Structure 1
Amino acid sequence: MRRRGPGAEHGRVTETIAWLSLSPPEVLVVLGAVALLVARRLPPAARRPGTVAAGAVLVPSAVVLGLVGIRWQMLPVLAGAAAASASALPSLLRRRAGRPARRARRWLALPGSLACAGLVATGPVAAWAFPVPVFPEPTGDFAVGTRVVQWTDPLRPETFTADPDDRRTVVVQLWYPARKSPAGVPGAPYLGRTRDEARTVSKALADGVGLPGFLVDGVPRARSRAVLGAPPAGGGDRFPVVLFSPGSAGVRSQNTAWAEELASHGYLVAALDHPYDSAVVVLADGRTIRGTTASSGDRDRDAEQAVGWTAVRAADLGFVLTRLERLDRGEPADPLAGRLDTGRAAVTGHSLGGAAALQAARRDRRFDAVVDLDGYPHGPTAPALRQPALALTQEVTAGTDPRYLPRLAEALGRTTARSYRLAVPGAGHLTFTDGPLYLPPVPSIVGTLGRTESPRVVAAATLAFLDATLRGRPGDPADTLRAYGTVSTSGPGGAPVPPP
C-alpha cells in the first residue's frame, strides 16, 4: 500500500478549495463573513469577542483580495459583511463606552440578517457557476510543454482583406511531450501568452455567446498544466502530429485540456487560430484581429458561407502541416527538430473546425486520420476519404438538426477506410471543449457529464482512435470506444459493420 506523504492532507485541502471554486483568500473572506453573521446571534457575553474574531479573519483577507484582484463573485459577500458590520459595530461601541446596547427590533433584525446571509451565500454559488477553471492533471507518462508560433504563407493571399499584398498568417499553439519541470514552476497562462491577451480573448469569447465579459473574468486567471517553453522530453522518441481547428468564433486554446492529455501520451498537438474567423487573434506584433464571420440569419446563405470558411481553414491546416515538416527538418533550428513524426499525422477539429478537418483530409493525403468533434460536415463529400475517421457527437434528440445525421453519414460513408461515430450520452456541443471547466453546468450548453468527466471522456475516446490509426495498436478501436457511448461503424463505401 502506498504511504501518504506529508503533502497528502494539503492536497486534499487544495482539491476541496478547487471544488468550491474559491481561492484560499476568498474562502477566508466567506468564512469571516459567515462568522460575523453568526456572532450577531451569540449570547451578549460572547457577541463582542466573536465579532472581533470574525473581523480579524475578514479584514486582512479582503485586503489581500484587493491587492491580487477581487472577482465579481466576492462583491456580494463583502456587501453582506459590510451590512452586518454596520448594524453590529454601533452596539459594540456603545457597550464598550458603558452605555446600554440597543438592538434592532426583531421584525427588522430578522429580515436584515436574512438579506445579509443571502448576499454572503450568493458569492460561493456564483463562484461555483463561473469558476476559475482548474485543468485536470494529464494521465500520460510525459510532462507537457507548450509554446506559440506564428507563420505566414507567402503563396496565399489573405481573402478576408482587400490588400493585394496581405498574405495569410496563422497563429499556432503547440503542446508536446516535455521534460519534467522543477517543482513550483507555474503552468502556462490559459487563453493567451500574457494576462492582457487572455483578457482580450476571454472578452471576445463572452461577446460571441452574448455574455457580459465580467461573468467569465476568472478564466484569464487560469493556468493550464503545460509549462511554457519547457524543453522537449529526452530520448529519441518521435511524436505523431495532431492538428486542431477550433469551432466557429472559437480560439486555438479552447481545447487545452484535451491537447494536454494527448501530449502527455506522446503526441504533438498543433492548434490553430484562424484570423478573421476565430473570435480574436493577437499577432506577435500586438495587432488584434477580431472575427468578421457571422451568421446572416438565413439558413441557405449561412450554409454557403460556411463552405467558403471551411475551405480557408482546410488550407490553413495543410499549410501548418507543411511548416511542421520544415520545423522537424530544422528549418529554422528548433528544439523540436528531428522529434516530429509528420509521417503519422491526424487532422481534428470541433464544430466548424471538424468540418475543416474532414475537408483537409480529403484534399491532403499526408493526413492519416481525421477526428470530427461534433461538427456539421460543410463542403463537398467528394473525393472519397482515404483515411479512417472518427466523429464524436451528442445523442440525437428532438432538437437535433434533422439534416445533421444524414449529412454526417454521407460524409463518413464516402470513404475507402473504416469510420466510426461515437454518440456520447449526456454530451452537449461544448462538452467537446474546455467549456465545462468554467461555464455554468447547464445541460443544454455543456451537457451533464460534469467538469471532471467531460474532458476525460473526449480525450480518452480520441486517444483510443489515434493509438489504433497512427500507432497501429492492435484491436478494433470500437471495442474501446463503446465504453464511452454508442458506436456505429462503417466499412469502405459506408457499408455498416456489425458489432462483434
Structure 2
Amino acid sequence: MTAHHDTRRRGRWALAVPLALLATLLAGGTAAAGTPAAPATPVLRLPTPTGQYAVGTTWLHLTDPARPDPWRPESRRELMVSLWYPSVGAAGAPAPYTAAAVSARIVAAEGLPLPPDVLTTVRTNARRDAPVRPAARGWPLVVLSPGFSLSRESLTGLAEELASRGYVVAGLDHPYEAWGVEFPDGRVADCLACEREWPDVAARLVEGRAADVSFVLDRLTGPRPAWRGARFVDASRIGMVGHSIGGASAAQALRTDRRLDAGADLDGTLFVPVPAGAVRKPFLLVGSDRPADASWQRDWPGLAGWKRWLTVSGSGHMSFTDRPVLGAQLGMDPGAIPAERQLLITREYVVAFLDAHLRDRARPLLDGPSPAYPEVRFTEPS
C-alpha cells in the first residue's frame, strides 16, 4: 500500500493499469493469447445499483471566501462536488460520467492512445437533477474523497450504490490534486500537486482535504445551504469514505470535524500520524492484497473506537474504484477477482459499515469472515 503514493509515478501506475487495457483493445489488440479483440465501438457502463431507490445527481461549484487555495494562494479555494441521492422516479436525462476536458487530461497524462473523450462515453445509472425523494428524518450524508491524481468520477459506482440504499453522497473534487477538474465557466484546474515531490506534499494534501470536507459540510448542513435538496439531509448522521490519500484524509477529518460520525479508508496510507486514542469514532480500514501498511500498524492504537482492518485477497490499489470494471468490459482480465465482484465487495462492506454506524442497523458482515466473501480477511495487527 505504500509504493503507490509516490506522486506522478503513483498516479500514472494507478490509472494506466485499467486504461492501458482499454487502449490495447481500442487499438484492435488482444487481452491475452487466444482472446479475441474487443469490438471497435465498446460500450462502457457501471453496474446497476442494488438498492430500492432510483438515483439522482447534480453538480455544485463552491468557493470558500475565507481560505486561499493551498496550491494557488492568490485564489480562493474552489471545489466541484457531485451529489448523488435517492430520487423520485426516473425523471431527468442520464447523467454524464465526467466532462470531456477531464477525460482528455486523464488520457493525456497517462500517455495513452485513446480517444480523448473516452470516459464521457461511460453510461451511469443516475439522472441529472432528478427530484430528491423526501425522507421524514432525512437521509444520512456520506462524503467521498478520491485518490491522488484521480477525480470524483472514479468513485461513481460506489456513490450510486449508496444513493440507491438511502444515502445522500457528496463526491468531492480537490482541484490541482487531480489530472483535471473543470469548473462551470470552462476553466480547468490541472494537477499542480503532481509536480511536487511526494514526501513534501502528502501531509499537506491530507490536511487540505480535511478542510475541504469541513467547508462542504458547512455548505450542505449550515443555515444557508448551497443545494435545494439539503433540507432532506440528516446533519446528525454524517460519514466519510476515501480512497488512497482520500482515505488518509478521512482519518484526519474525523479528528478535526466533530460533525463526522464515522470514517473509512480504502487502501490509503496514513501520512499524518494518528496519536494514540485520537480517533474515538468508528473507523474502517480496507486494504488491497499487499504487505501490511506500516502506517496502519503504527496508528492502530490511535483508533480508539469501533474498528476493523479488512484485507481483500487478490485485489489491487484500484480495486476500490470504477477503473477495473471499465477495463473488464473491453475483454480484459482484471486479475484474481472479476472486476464487477471487486466493486461488489467494496459496495457491500462500505454499506454495511455505514448502515451499522449511521443507522444503528445490525450488520453481521462486519463481525467476522463471511462464506459469501471468502476474499475478505479480517486482520488483527500485532
Normalising by the residue count of structure 2, what TM-score does the alignment of the two structures yield? Answer: 0.84
Which amino acid counterpart does residue 221 of structure 2 have in structure 1? E
- Bigger relative contact order, structure 1 or 2 (CA pairs below 8 A, ≥6 apart): 2
Q: CA deviation at 1:75?
A: 7.8
The equivalent position to 1:428 in structure 2, one of 303, 310, 316, is: 316
Q: Distance in 1 between matches of 2:220 and 2:364?
A: 30
Q: Distance in 1 between matches of 2:307 and 2:135?
A: 34
Q: Distance in 1 between matches of 2:257 and 2:62?
A: 19
Tell me whether 1:179 sits opposite 2:88 in the alignment: yes
> Structure 1 vs Structure 2: percent identity of aligned residues?
35
Q: CA deviation at 1:456?
A: 1.1
Tell me whether 1:458 sits opposite 2:346 in the alignment: yes
Q: Distance in 1 between matches of 2:279 and 2:26?
A: 52
Question: 1:231, 1:335 within 8 Å by CA — same for their partners in 2?
Answer: no
Instruction: From the two aligned structures, give the one with the greater helix fraction.
Output: 1
Residue 4 (structure 2) aligns with: none
Q: Distance in 2 between matches of 1:486 and 1:72?
A: 34
Which amino acid counterpart does residue 167 of structure 1 have in structure 2? R
Q: Distance in 2 between matches of 1:218 and 1:317?
A: 29
Change (3 A) 1:230 1:76: same
Q: Distance in 1 between matches of 2:97 and 2:85?
A: 16
SS of residue matched to 1:469? helix
The equivalent position to 1:275 in structure 2, one of 154, 175, 186, is: 175
Question: 1:427, 1:448 within 8 Å by CA — same for their partners in 2?
Answer: yes
Residue 387 (structure 1) aligns with: 281
Q: Cα deviation per residue 1:391-417 (whole Å; 9 max; x = unaligned)?
A: 111123xxx4xxx52211222321220
> May I ask how many residue pairs the two structures share in their alignment?
352
| Structure 2 gap segments, 5+ residues each | 1-22
Residue 107 (structure 2) aligns with: 206
Q: CA deviation at 1:320?
A: 0.8
The equivalent position to 1:369 in structure 2, one of 262, 279, 283, is: 262
Which amino acid counterpart does residue 204 of structure 1 have in structure 2? R
Residue 240 (structure 2) aligns with: 347
Q: Distance in 1 between matches of 2:346 and 2:157?
A: 10
Change (3 A) 1:123 1:408: closer
Q: Distance in 1 between matches of 2:226 and 2:257?
A: 26
Q: Cα deviation per residue 1:155-180 (whole Å; 9 max; x = unaligned)?
A: 111221242xx211111000001011
The equivalent position to 2:37 in structure 1, one of 110, 114, 125, is: 125
Q: Distance in 1 between matches of 2:66 and 2:363?
A: 42
Change (3 A) 1:75 1:463: closer
Alignment of 1:130-279 (within 5 A): 131-163=42-74, 166-181=75-90, 186-191=93-98, 198-214=99-115, 217-279=117-179
Which amino acid counterpart does residue 255 of structure 2 have in structure 1? R
Question: 2:221, 2:230 within 8 Å by CA — same for their partners in 1?
Answer: no
Normalising by the residue count of structure 1, what TM-score does the alignment of the two structures yield? Answer: 0.65
Q: Distance in 2 between matches of 1:143 and 1:393?
A: 30
Q: Distance in 1 between matches of 2:293 and 2:24?
A: 42
Q: Cα deviation per residue 1:359-406 (whole Å; 9 max; x = unaligned)?
A: 11111121110010111111131361121111111123xxx4xxx522
Q: Cα deviation per residue 1:187-214 (whole Å; 9 max; x = unaligned)?
A: 21111xxxxxx22212222334442343
Change (3 A) 1:76 1:464: closer
| Structure 1 gap segments, 5+ residues each | 1-70, 78-117, 192-197, 491-495
Question: 2:177, 2:193 within 8 Å by CA — same for their partners in 1?
Answer: yes
Residue 8 (structure 2) aligns with: none
SS of residue matched to 2:231? coil
Tell me whether 1:338 sits opposite 2:231 in the alignment: yes
SS of residue matched to 2:251? helix
Which amino acid counterpart does residue 205 of structure 2 have in structure 1? W
Residue 306 (structure 1) aligns with: 202
Residue 29 (structure 1) aligns with: none
Which amino acid counterpart does residue 290 of structure 1 have in structure 2? D
Q: CA deviation at 1:319?
A: 1.0
Question: 2:262, 2:283 within 8 Å by CA — same for their partners in 1?
Answer: yes
Change (3 A) 1:342 1:353: same
Q: Distance in 1 between matches of 2:186 and 2:117?
A: 22
Q: CA RMSD in A?
A: 2.9
Q: CA deviation at 1:292?
A: 1.1
Q: CA deviation at 1:318?
A: 1.2
SS of residue matched to 2:172? strand
Q: CA deviation at 1:307?
A: 0.9
SS of residue matched to 2:378? strand
Change (3 A) 1:481 1:471: farther
Tell me whether 1:449 sits opposite 2:337 in the alignment: yes
Pick the structure with greater CA Rg. Answer: 1
Question: 1:219, 1:438 within 8 Å by CA — same for their partners in 2?
Answer: no
Instruction: From the two aligned structures, give the one with the greater strand fraction.
Output: 2
Q: CA deviation at 1:235?
A: 4.5
Q: CA deviation at 1:439?
A: 2.3
Q: Cα deviation per residue 1:421-477 (whole Å; 9 max; x = unaligned)?
A: 11112211111000012225777xx54322321211101110011110111113555
Q: Which moved more, 1:145-154 or 1:431-440?
A: 431-440
Alignment of 1:28-43 (within 5 A): none
